[in-house]
């Protein structure tokens, strides 16, 4: 329930994501307890255990995966549908966490546009239970060493998690079963301890339960998504969940509150509730092109409860406990195979592009950028032992060493592919980034890039392309400058740029400064239009227009006044500098409007980065200006 509230109303329960960690502990406790009782009564078999898991997990999951594929057919463009298919396919074989780990990183899309995102935790749970019964059987054969082995497994898992935190690999720490399994092992250890010693800690179980509840609720209310989680913080909710379980059903907390009829009822439908709530919220977010209103989100939570009850009553209960479906395990397994095959087909046929052809505000196939990404020569004249400093270090390989270098960040990376495509064979390009001149001459990445450029006798042109956010803090909603900037700060930035520009010009290089594009929302939040061929259905099934996907040109200039002043002063101090302004291509200046798309093609690809279509427009406009410059 904590996770549902967090997903629907994160502004009111900022740390509700700890509900997943509580779930891991409870799951480890309950499932291990069931296995131990069967082992004690000599009734345990792996076949029966995995069959019970199929009857428990597959019915509701198969229903939600089928719903996601049907809803995706109607609601998603081909890029989104292709990604959804990867997620449904990986969910069918419980590998969602690894799929999401592969996608994590700079180019990942927003979490609330992934309807199957929440299934990562189910994948980790099932990966754990694939091996855990086998280990319990081993523990039974060598009881003398079982405690030592259990503690070793827990320490190794925690150690691996700490190592990932130390490396700064928080995505792997979040999604890896190796770094998460200790949470399930905490619950499992508690089940083993209480099975062997039912009277353990009986004297202080009552206060333990209340302390545990305080730790869980405190985490839910005071943690937030900006924390390095799980990391070290995860110990707090995990300890809280363990203390609540240790308290037992006879404690005042559990008997008076957690055992109340409303909470027991929620507990019975908690699994289908968890499965249903996130796809509903995510698809609503996609259709609205922004976070839906609080009223819509509340309505979707209520609908989640209704669907969860119906799933529990008419799907889970008959299959799990009824005798009407003796071959349920076989048919459910075959359905998961079918989901896997359907997902592969959708992915193989590129998200089935034909579904919305000509129906949306622009062609989704133009959302791409850098089709050559990953195929270019992975070097940029830096020594091999320094290339690790850069995220982008590549060249087209036309001429060695390259004649043109682009220095910048992700904005430059989005542009350089079009510059490479549009340049003649004698002009060779390299990319170095992220490089921000404002980081100073002594910053290791800047020093390495500058030295490599100075050592390149072929280098004729330097292009600087950095994001506005690298210079100023921007408002998350409007993309306009959200900080007060003094004249002294602007003059300092101009002096830093001018010093480096004059150094390059003194050695005969032509220098180009590319003005950043307007900061608009992610283009996937700017897709609008009807989703069916029937007008009466499009009153409901349509992608809403996001008002933030248009920006008045004059408002952009006003909201970036400090940046405009910086550009004016930079041009004044460097008369030989080519300052390239892409806004006449990206905006309709006579109409005073900047939009996400133009003439049925998207100008942006991901975040506020230009698409290949916009990049080609800019490259064809910019390259003749560069060629006309005097050295």
pLDDT, tens only, 133-190: 999 998 888 777 778 888 999 999 999 999 999 888 889 999 999 999 999 999 999 9
Identify whether the C-beta of residue 591 lies closer than 8 Å to the C-beta of residue 396.
Answer: no
Query: Distance between CA atoms of 460 and 447, rounded to whole angstroms?
Result: 19
Query: Distance between CA atoms of 622 and 128, rounded to whole angstroms?
Result: 55
**What is the sign of the dihedral through the CA atoms of 439, 442, 445 and 446?**
positive
Pairing type for strands 578-580 and 587-588 reads: unpaired
pLDDT for the residue numbered 128: 94
Secondary structure E strands in 109-206: none
Query: Distance between CA atoms of 258 and 414, rounded to whole angstroms?
Result: 53
Q: Which of 174, 268, 249, 218 is nearest to 2 (CA)?
A: 218
Query: Distance between CA atoms of 184 and 197, rounded to whole angstroms?
Result: 20
Identify whether the C-beta of residue 446 lies closer than 8 Å to the C-beta of residue 437.
Answer: yes
The H-or-E segment that residue 111 falls in is none
pLDDT for the residue numbered 78: 86
Query: Distance between CA atoms of 89 and 83, rounded to whole angstroms?
Result: 10
Taking only the tens place, the pLDDT of each residue in 21-72 is 999 999 999 999 999 898 888 888 899 999 999 999 999 999 999 999 999 9
Partners of 513 in the beta sheet? 464, 579
Taking only the tens place, the pLDDT of each residue in 505-517 is 999 999 999 999 9
Of all residues in the chain, the percent with pLDDT exceeding 90 is 63
The H-or-E segment that residue 236 falls in is helix 235-247
- Give the 3-state secondary structure of residue 343: helix
403 pLDDT higher than 80? yes
* Position 201 confidence tier, pLDDT thresholds 50, 70, 90: low
Instruction: Round to the nearest angstrom and report the end-to-end CA distance of the chain.
Output: 66
CATH (one of 3.30.300.30, 3.30.420.40, 3.40.50.1110, 3.40.50.720) for 366-627: 3.40.50.1110
Taking only the tens place, the pLDDT of each residue in 471-530 is 999 998 888 999 889 999 999 999 999 999 999 999 999 999 999 999 998 888 888 887
Domain borders along the chain are 2-356, 366-627
Residue range 236-262: mean pLDDT, rounded = 81
pLDDT for the residue numbered 623: 96
User: Exposed, middle or buried by CB within 10 Å (0-12, 13-18, 19+), for 378?
Assistant: exposed
| pTM greater than 0.95 | no
Residue range 555-570: mean pLDDT, rounded = 96
For tokens 């900061």, the residue is 519
The tokens of 443 are what? 């910053």
């Amino acid at each position: 329930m904590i996770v549902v509230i967090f997903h629907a109303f994160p502004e009111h329960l900022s740390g509700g994501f700890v509900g997943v960690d509580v779930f891991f502990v409870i799951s480890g406790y309950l499932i291990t307890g069931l296995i131990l009782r069967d082992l004690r009564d000599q009734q345990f078999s792996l076949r029966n255990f995995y069959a019970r898991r199929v009857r428990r997990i597959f019915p509701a999951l198969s229903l939600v995966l089928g719903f996601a594929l049907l809803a995706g057919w109607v609601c998603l463009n081909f890029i989104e549908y292709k990604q959804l298919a990867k997620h449904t396919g990986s969910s069918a074989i419980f590998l969602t966490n690894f799929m999401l780990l592969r996608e994590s990183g700079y180019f990942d899309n927003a979490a609330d546009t992934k309807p199957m995102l929440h299934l990562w935790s189910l994948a980790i749970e099932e990966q754990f239970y694939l091996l855990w019964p086998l280990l319990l059987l081993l523990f039974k054969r060598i009881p003398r060493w079982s405690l030592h082995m259990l503690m070793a497994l827990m320490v190794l898992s925690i150690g691996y998690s700490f190592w990932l935190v130390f490396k700064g690999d928080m995505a792997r720490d979040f999604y890896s079963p190796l770094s998460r399994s200790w949470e399930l092992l905490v619950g499992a250890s508690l089940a083993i301890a209480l099975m062997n010693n039912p009277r353990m800690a009986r004297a202080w179980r009552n206060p333990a339960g209340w302390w545990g509840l305080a730790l869980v609720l405190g985490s839910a209310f005071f943690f937030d998504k900006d924390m390095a989680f799980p990391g070290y913080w995860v110990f707090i909710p995990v300890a809280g969940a363990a203390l609540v379980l240790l308290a037992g059903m006879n404690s005042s907390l559990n008997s008076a509150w957690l055992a109340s009829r409303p909470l027991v009822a929620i507990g019975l439908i908690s699994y289908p509730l968890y499965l249903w709530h996130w796809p509903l919220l995510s698809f609503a977010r996609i259709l609205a092109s922004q976070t839906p209103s609080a009223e819509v989100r509340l309505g979707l939570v209520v609908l989640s409860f209704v669907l969860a009850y119906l799933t529990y009553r008419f799907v889970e209960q008959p299959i799990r406990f009824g005798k009407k479906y003796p071959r349920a395990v076989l048919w459910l397994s075959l359905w998961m195979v079918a989901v896997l095959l359907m997902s592969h087909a959708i992915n193989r046929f590129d998200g089935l592009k034909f579904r919305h052809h000509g129906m949306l505000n622009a062609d989704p196939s133009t959302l791409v950028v850098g089709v050559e990404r990953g195929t270019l020569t992975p070097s940029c004249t830096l020594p091999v032992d320094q290339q690790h400093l850069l995220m982008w270090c590549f060249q087209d390989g036309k001429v060695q060493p390259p004649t043109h270098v682009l220095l910048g960040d992700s904005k430059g990376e989005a542009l350089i592919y079009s510059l490479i495509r549009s340049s003649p064979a004698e002009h060779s390009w390299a990319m170095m980034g992220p490089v921000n001149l404002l980081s100073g001459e002594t910053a290791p990445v800047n020093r390495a890039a500058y030295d490599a450029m100075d050592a390149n006798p072929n280098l004729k042109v330097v292009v600087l392309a950095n994001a506005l956010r690298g210079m100023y803090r921007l408002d998350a909603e409007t993309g306009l400058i959200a900080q007060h900037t003094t004249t002294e700060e602007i003059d300092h930035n101009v002096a830093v740029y001018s010093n480096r520009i004059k150094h390059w010009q003194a050695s005969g290089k032509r220098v180009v400064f590319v003005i950043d594009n307007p900061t608009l929302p992610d283009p996937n939040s700017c897709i609008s239009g009807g989703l069916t061929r029937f007008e009466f259905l499009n009153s409901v099934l349509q992608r809403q227009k996001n008002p933030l996907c248009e920006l008045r040109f004059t408002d952009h200039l006003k909201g970036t006044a400090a940046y405009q002043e910086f550009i004016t002063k930079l041009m004044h101090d460097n008369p030989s500098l080519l300052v390239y302004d892409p806004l006449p291509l990206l905006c309709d200046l006579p109409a005073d409007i900047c939009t996400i798309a133009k003439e049925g093609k998207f100008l942006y690809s991901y975040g506020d980065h230009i698409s290949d279509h916009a990049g080609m427009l800019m490259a064809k406009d910019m390259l003749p200006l560069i060629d006309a410059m005097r050295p």
